[in-house]
Structure 1
Amino acid sequence: MTTDPLGNARFITARADRDVAPRFSTEVDLDRPRSQVTAAVLRATAHGVYEARIDGRPASDSVLDPGWTAYEWRLPYQEHDVSDLVASGEGPVRLDLVLGNGWYRGDLGFAAANANYGEVISVAALLDIAYADGSSQRITTDASWSAVASDTTRNSLYDGQTIDARRRFDEGAPLGVREVDIDRTTLFQQSGPPVLRHEIISPVAIWTSPSGRCLVDFGQNLVGWLRFTVQGAEGTEIEIRHAEVLEDGELGIRPLRAAEARDVFILSGNEDSFEPTLTFHGFRYAEVSGWPGELAVDSLEAVVVHSEMRRTGHFACSEPLVNQLVHNSVWGQKGNFLSVPTDCPQRDERLGWTGDLAAYAASACFQFDTADFLDDWLADLLVETAHSPDRGVPLVIPDVLKYADFPADFSMPPWAAAAIWGDAAIWVPQALWIAYGDADRLAAQYPAMKLHLESVERYISPTGLWDLGHQLGDWLDPDAPPDQPGAAKADPHVVATACLYRSATFAAEAATIIGETEDAARWAELAERTRTAFNAHYVDGGIVTSDCATVYALAIVFGVLDDDDRAFAGARLAEIVRDADYRVTTGFAGTPFVTWALSETGHVGEAYALLLETGCPSWLYPVTMGATTVWERWDSMLPDGTINAGEMTSFNHYALGAVADWIYQVVGGIRPAAPGYGRVRIQPVPGPGITWAETSYASAHGTVSAAWRTDEGGFALEVALPDGLPAEIVLPDGRVEQVVGGVHRLTAAH
Structure 2
Amino acid sequence: MTDATAHVRAELRDDVPLVATETPRLTWQVADAPGGWRQRSVDLTDGVDTVTLDTSDSVLVAWPFAPLAAGERRDVAVRVHSTAGESTRWSAPTPVTAAFLAEGEWVAEPVGLASPSRDAQPFEVRTRFALGDDVARAELLWTALGVAEPRVNGVAVSDDVLAPGWTAYRDRLVHETVDVTELVHPGENELAAAVAGAWYTEKYGFFTFTDRLYGTQPSFLAQVRITAVDGTVRPVAATDASWEAAGDGPVVDSGIYAGEHQDLRRTAAAWTPVRVGAAAKAGYESVPVPEARIAPPVRRVQTLPVADVIASPSGGRILDFGQNLVGRLRIRAGGERGTRLVVRHAEVLENGELGIR
User: Normalising TM by the smaller chain, what interval?
Assistant: 0.5 to 0.7
User: Compared with structure 1, are the counterparts of its residues 153 and 185 closer, same or farther at alpha carbon in structure 2 (3 Å cutoff)?
Assistant: closer
Contact 1:5/1:187 (<8 A) preserved: no
User: 2:307 matched to 1:204?
Assistant: yes
Q: Which residue of 2 aligns with 1:3?
A: 103
Deviation at 1:221, TM superposition (A): 1.1
Q: Deviations over 1:238-277 (max 9, x none)?
A: 11011111111111112xxxxxxxxxxxxxxxxxxxxxxx
Question: Which structure 1 segments of 5+ residues have no match?
Answer: 255-750
SS of residue paired to 2:166: coil
Q: Deviations over 1:309-328 (max 9, x none)?
A: xxxxxxxxxxxxxxxxxxxx
User: Compared with structure 1, are the counterparts of its residues 81 and 144 closer, same or farther at alpha carbon in structure 2 (3 Å cutoff)?
Assistant: same
Amino acid at match of 2:216: E
User: 2:132 matched to 1:46?
Assistant: no
User: Compared with structure 1, are the counterparts of its residues 132 and 197 closer, same or farther at alpha carbon in structure 2 (3 Å cutoff)?
Assistant: same
| Mapping 1:1-400, distance limit 5 Å | 3-6=103-106, 8-14=107-113, 15-16=115-116, 17-32=118-133, 37-87=135-185, 91-111=187-207, 112-132=209-229, 134=231, 138-149=236-247, 150-168=249-267, 171-180=268-277, 183-254=286-357
Q: Which residue of 2 aligns with 1:600?
A: none
Q: Deviations over 1:440-490 (max 9, x none)?
A: xxxxxxxxxxxxxxxxxxxxxxxxxxxxxxxxxxxxxxxxxxxxxxxxxxx
Amino acid at match of 1:165: L
Q: Rg: which structure is higher?
A: 1
SS of residue paired to 2:198: coil
SS of residue paired to 2:326: strand
Q: Deviations over 1:12-42 (max 9, x none)?
A: 121223253110011222223xxx5421100
RMSD across aligned C-alpha pairs, in angstroms?
A: 2.2
Higher RCO (CA 8 Å, separation ≥ 6 residues): 2
User: Compared with structure 1, are the counterparts of its residues 24 and 100 closer, same or farther at alpha carbon in structure 2 (3 Å cutoff)?
Assistant: same
Deviation at 1:71, TM superposition (A): 1.3
User: Compared with structure 1, are the counterparts of its residues 185 and 157 closer, same or farther at alpha carbon in structure 2 (3 Å cutoff)?
Assistant: closer
Deviation at 1:176, TM superposition (A): 4.4
Deviation at 1:5, TM superposition (A): 4.3
For residues 214 and 91 of structure 1, the distance between their equivalents in structure 2, rounded to whole angstroms, comes to: 51
Deviation at 1:132, TM superposition (A): 3.5
For residues 73 and 224 of structure 1, the distance between their equivalents in structure 2, rounded to whole angstroms, comes to: 29
For residues 194 and 158 of structure 1, the distance between their equivalents in structure 2, rounded to whole angstroms, comes to: 20
For residues 222 and 109 of structure 1, the distance between their equivalents in structure 2, rounded to whole angstroms, comes to: 24
Contact 2:243/2:273 (<8 A) preserved: no
User: Compared with structure 1, are the counterparts of its residues 58 and 133 closer, same or farther at alpha carbon in structure 2 (3 Å cutoff)?
Assistant: same
For residues 181 and 138 of structure 2, the distance between their equivalents in structure 1, rounded to whole angstroms, comes to: 4
Deviation at 1:192, TM superposition (A): 3.0
For residues 134 and 192 of structure 1, the distance between their equivalents in structure 2, rounded to whole angstroms, comes to: 29
For residues 91 and 176 of structure 1, the distance between their equivalents in structure 2, rounded to whole angstroms, comes to: 23
For residues 162 and 238 of structure 2, the distance between their equivalents in structure 1, rounded to whole angstroms, comes to: 21
After the TM superposition, list the runs of 4 or more consecutive aligned residues in structure 1 that deviate by more than 4 angstroms: 133-137
Deviation at 1:160, TM superposition (A): 0.5
Amino acid at match of 2:190: R
Contact 2:177/2:292 (<8 A) preserved: yes
Q: Percent identity?
A: 37
Q: Deviations over 1:215-244 (max 9, x none)?
A: 111111111221234443221221101111
Q: Deviations over 1:397-456 (max 9, x none)?
A: xxxxxxxxxxxxxxxxxxxxxxxxxxxxxxxxxxxxxxxxxxxxxxxxxxxxxxxxxxxx
For residues 73 and 19 of structure 1, the distance between their equivalents in structure 2, rounded to whole angstroms, comes to: 21
Q: Structure 1 length as normaliser, TM-score?
A: 0.31
Amino acid at match of 2:127: T
| Mapping 1:275-674, distance limit 5 Å | none
Deviation at 1:156, TM superposition (A): 0.5
More helix by share: 1
Contact 1:72/1:186 (<8 A) preserved: no
For residues 163 and 198 of structure 1, the distance between their equivalents in structure 2, rounded to whole angstroms, comes to: 24
Deviation at 1:134, TM superposition (A): 4.8
Contact 2:146/2:197 (<8 A) preserved: yes
Contact 1:126/1:139 (<8 A) preserved: yes
Contact 2:191/2:237 (<8 A) preserved: no
Contact 1:39/1:129 (<8 A) preserved: yes
Amino acid at match of 1:143: A
For residues 190 and 132 of structure 1, the distance between their equivalents in structure 2, rounded to whole angstroms, comes to: 27
Deviation at 1:202, TM superposition (A): 1.1
For residues 201 and 108 of structure 1, the distance between their equivalents in structure 2, rounded to whole angstroms, comes to: 31
Contact 1:143/1:177 (<8 A) preserved: yes
Q: Deviations over 1:291-341 (max 9, x none)?
A: xxxxxxxxxxxxxxxxxxxxxxxxxxxxxxxxxxxxxxxxxxxxxxxxxxx
Amino acid at match of 1:130: T
Amino acid at match of 1:96: A
SS of residue paired to 1:104: helix
Q: Structure 2 length as normaliser, TM-score?
A: 0.63
For residues 182 and 331 of structure 2, the distance between their equivalents in structure 1, rounded to whole angstroms, comes to: 27
Deviation at 1:113, TM superposition (A): 2.8
SS of residue paired to 1:84: helix
For residues 166 and 218 of structure 1, the distance between their equivalents in structure 2, rounded to whole angstroms, comes to: 30
For residues 348 and 356 of structure 2, the distance between their equivalents in structure 1, rounded to whole angstroms, comes to: 8
Amino acid at match of 1:114: D
For residues 230 and 54 of structure 1, the distance between their equivalents in structure 2, rounded to whole angstroms, comes to: 29
Contact 1:75/1:188 (<8 A) preserved: yes
More strand by share: 2
Contact 2:170/2:287 (<8 A) preserved: no
User: Compared with structure 1, are the counterparts of its residues 50 and 230 closer, same or farther at alpha carbon in structure 2 (3 Å cutoff)?
Assistant: same
Question: Which range is displaced more, 152-161 or 49-58?
Answer: 49-58
Contact 2:135/2:226 (<8 A) preserved: yes
Contact 1:109/1:115 (<8 A) preserved: no
Question: Which structure 2 segments of 5+ residues have no match?
Answer: 1-101, 279-284
Question: Which range is displaced more, 93-102 or 222-231?
Answer: 222-231
SS of residue paired to 1:28: strand
